[in-house]
Amino acid sequence: RLFEHLREPAPQFRIDRVLDGPAATHVRYVRQ
């Protein structure tokens, strides 16, 4: 049930997780 609850929250949590991964450098570069 935790997965269902995480899907309802805002997508901000998903972006945070992606930043923690190897995409953090790519996302940071694009954001700069």
pLDDT in tens, 1-32: 565 665 665 666 566 665 666 666 666 656 65
The answer for residues whose C-beta is within 8 angstroms of residue 24's C-beta and 6 or more apart is 18
Output the pLDDT for position 26. Answer: 61
Domain of 17, in residue numbers: 2-31
Given this model, what pLDDT does residue 2 score?
61
Alpha helices in 1-32 (DSSP H): 2-7, 12-20, 23-31
**What pLDDT, on the 0 to 100 scale, is given for residue 3?**
59
Residues 19, 31 contacting (CB under 8 angstroms): no
Q: What angle do CA 6, 11, 15 make, to 5 degrees?
A: 105
Q: What is the pLDDT of residue 14?
A: 60
- The number of distinct structural domains making up the chain is 1
CA 21 from chain centre, in angstroms, equals: 9
Q: What pTM did the predictor assign?
A: 0.18
